[in-house]
Structure 1
Amino acid sequence: MMSVFSKVRNFVSRHRGKFIVSSILITSSIILTRYAQQKLKDWQEKEMLEFLERTRKQQHFENIGRTCNQTTMNLASSLVEALSHVTDTDKTIAELQANTGNKVIVWETLKIQLFTKLCCLIYAMSMLVIILRIQLSIIGGYLYKDPSSIPTEIQEKFLTLTQNLMNDGLNKISSKVTVVCKNILGQIDLKKPMRLSDIDALFWSLQAAIGDGEDNPIDNLKTYINLNFEEDKSSRNIYTLLLRDTLDLIESDEVKSLTTQCINRGFTQLADQLSEFFINNGPSSSKQNPEEVNLKKPLAKLLPIINGILSKNSFPDKFVQQLVSNERLHIFGANIYESLL
């Protein structure tokens, strides 16, 4: 029995170094395994927290987007209604139907009014959608960081900028566009045959003239929403910060480019809707034939068509739907939101 213990003792003595090394290796493996497991657990927890944060942020931003779209749709209807008062074509049409006064003069008046109305609608609607997207993205960014950062009354005061556009701003746009339409359309006889290409050229002429001068709506958007305030660079007042952020954005080249794109799309869509009547005397899904490009209609016959498109909200509804689904506008809003986080 003793000899067995002696043999074991002698074996351990001879291989003591190996046992020590093995013990160290085993202990180290256990420690490293536990360390790796803890690191993996920490990484998984961090990834989960980041995932939950991204999900919460995404849901918050999507809610802002839905709010923005719904608010836009509601205000778009109010804008169309306000425009009908600023440019009252119904009164002129009633005068034509009553067959009173000089019909040529009344038709000339209607011509100016209808083109003024459609131009104002495209410009004002584009400006409204972009301003709302800017404002709600800014508010969303601040509220995500700190839900109590902007009191409700400050939010309401900040959002009155859109009301400025629909009141004084709309009158300013109408005044400028009316002068432009008189200068350009006053030279076009009501009996002049118009091709589709002539209509497109007319729209581009109107856009170029509206974009000329210091009161250009695209370059001077702040004057149409009455965004004027005495800026204190050191002020941390939340309302001042909101106005400062808005001003920086609307004066940026990106917003000017985005506004131009929206306006261009508006005139393109209007030309597309007119072409349906221009070619087929009514809406149709048939494709345009090469021979139809040269079809002509007197300008006077296009006026009732334009009035119908505007009066039945066919064009305004389609245009605002196109604007709220504009992918570039969504990306722009997301960039504003992210920049404030």
Structure 2
Amino acid sequence: MWEFWRRHRRKVYVTVGVFGSGYLFYKLYDTYTRRLSDLERELASELENDELLKTQMQAHFENIQRIADTTTLPHAMLYLSSRVAEELDLLHLTEQLMKGKGQPNTLNPSQKLELWERLKILSFTRMVVSLWTMTVLSLYIRVQVNILGRHLYIDTARGLGSSHLLEETDLIDRSDQQQFLASSDFLCNYGMPTLISNMQAAATEILKEKQLMDIFNTTVIHDTVVKILDIFMSTGSPHHWSNYLMPEDARFYKFITSSSSDNTDASDVTKFDQLMVETRAVLSSADFGNIVDISLKTVVDALMEDIKVVCGEANLLSGMPLAKLLPRIAQMDPLLLEEPSKNRFIQIIQTIPEVQLFFTLLYANMPTFVE
């Protein structure tokens, strides 16, 4: 045995080393393949969860848009329509003019001219106010519901885990939700008088050189409306128009709430404060300002198509005297402020690619708007 060992021990060592190394490499390879398989399973599971999360978020996002279209916006548009009709009532002017026409001695020429001038200014003011408020309020409400929807989604995901479907879970206090969505009435309740005054000033500036017998065609009407909007939007500090939509200080609503209810603690609305601050940040962003500009231009173009129908395209092609055009201008605001399901202007705004992209990004990346 010793002789055998002495002669073959090197071979034995080599053989044992080879088999030992092979076994070691086998174990290392087996461990590597097992770990690789585990990582692949984990990656597949993560991808599946990501796809599920994307599907949930997409469904939730689409549901949020439907809520805006079917609940919040119809209420706001109905209230807006009544407020515009109340604040910019043209009936008293037209009645006086009709009375003067039927009874020639009732009004002297200067009085008639004054009434026509007022009707000229107020007719364009009413149309442009209707156009601006419909456009911007519809965008503002969609900002609100996307911010609120984003918060509800994140809060629910934290509470239930991202693998659960997000349905009816109230992690934001319901009173805060209702108060936040109800703040869309700020324009009608508080912002309207100042907005109308400033819009009327812009209309007066543009129309002061326009005579009742001046000939208006579609191009002139379009340019007149655009110029009124440009003056209105550019007068004051940047984004000054956002103050018509919401108060600069969210505590405004605390004071309103606390004064109307003895049981309300005006300091206990921190979630509401956060929602309002984020909304203000979005409204003050350059991106939202661009969306407002694009939407207004698109609506003005669409409005010209309706004016052609109301006035007759052939009539506008050759041109109409301004005095004859004014009654048609007065017919535009019911179309602009029609309920959302029938309002083609709101539907046009919603199909603008830049608007769709903006709200998709707002819902997905809302914190980037907050400084």
State the TM bucket, normalised to the shorter chain: 0.7 to 0.9
Q: CA, structure 1 residues 111+340, in 2 after alignment: closer, same or farther (shift >3 Å)?
A: closer
| 2:117 aligned residue | 108
Taking only the aligned residue pairs, the percentage that are identical comes to 20
Alignment of 1:6-21 (within 5 A): 15-21=15-21
Q: CA, structure 1 residues 122+312, in 2 after alignment: closer, same or farther (shift >3 Å)?
A: closer
Once residues 215 and 32 of structure 1 are traced to their aligned partners in structure 2, the CA distance between those partners, rounded to angstroms, is 64
Question: Which residue among 104, 121, 126 is the counterpart of 1:117?
Answer: 126
Question: Which residue among 294, 299, 303 is the counterpart of 2:326?
Answer: 303
Q: CA deviation at 1:276?
A: 4.3
**Unpaired runs of 5+ in structure 1?**
1-9, 283-291
| 2:274 aligned residue | 241
Whether 2:248 is the aligned partner of 1:227: answer yes
Q: Is the 8 A contact 1:164 1:225 kept in 2?
A: yes
| 1:256 aligned residue | 289
RMSD: 3.2
TM-score normalised by structure 1 residue count = 0.80
Alignment of 1:49-68 (within 5 A): 49-68=49-68
| 1:162 aligned residue | 184
Whether 2:145 is the aligned partner of 1:136: answer yes
Q: CA, structure 1 residues 165+142, in 2 after alignment: closer, same or farther (shift >3 Å)?
A: same
Q: CA deviation at 1:224?
A: 4.3
Q: CA deviation at 1:21?
A: 3.5
Once residues 30 and 215 of structure 1 are traced to their aligned partners in structure 2, the CA distance between those partners, rounded to angstroms, is 69
Question: Which residue among 339, 347, 362 is the counterpart of 1:336?
Answer: 362
Q: Is the 8 A contact 2:127 2:330 kept in 1?
A: no
**1:94-149 C-alpha deviation (Å, 9 max, x unpaired):** 44455465455444333222211111012212221222122222212211121444
Q: CA deviation at 1:330?
A: 2.8
**What is the DSSP-based 3-state SS (H/G/I as helix, E as strand, rest coil) of the residue aligned with 1:188?**
coil
The range that moved more, 273-282 or 196-205, is 273-282
The range that moved more, 50-59 or 313-322, is 313-322
| 2:229 aligned residue | 207
Whether 2:341 is the aligned partner of 1:319: answer no
Once residues 209 and 20 of structure 1 are traced to their aligned partners in structure 2, the CA distance between those partners, rounded to angstroms, is 88
Q: Is the 8 A contact 2:143 2:359 kept in 1?
A: yes
Once residues 24 and 216 of structure 2 are traced to their aligned partners in structure 1, the CA distance between those partners, rounded to angstroms, is 95
Once residues 220 and 201 of structure 1 are traced to their aligned partners in structure 2, the CA distance between those partners, rounded to angstroms, is 21
| 2:86 aligned residue | 85
Number of residue pairs matched?
Answer: 318
Whether 2:217 is the aligned partner of 1:195: answer yes
Once residues 194 and 308 of structure 1 are traced to their aligned partners in structure 2, the CA distance between those partners, rounded to angstroms, is 17
Once residues 245 and 300 of structure 2 are traced to their aligned partners in structure 1, the CA distance between those partners, rounded to angstroms, is 21
TM-score normalised by structure 2 residue count = 0.74
**Unpaired runs of 5+ in structure 2?**
1-8, 157-169, 253-267
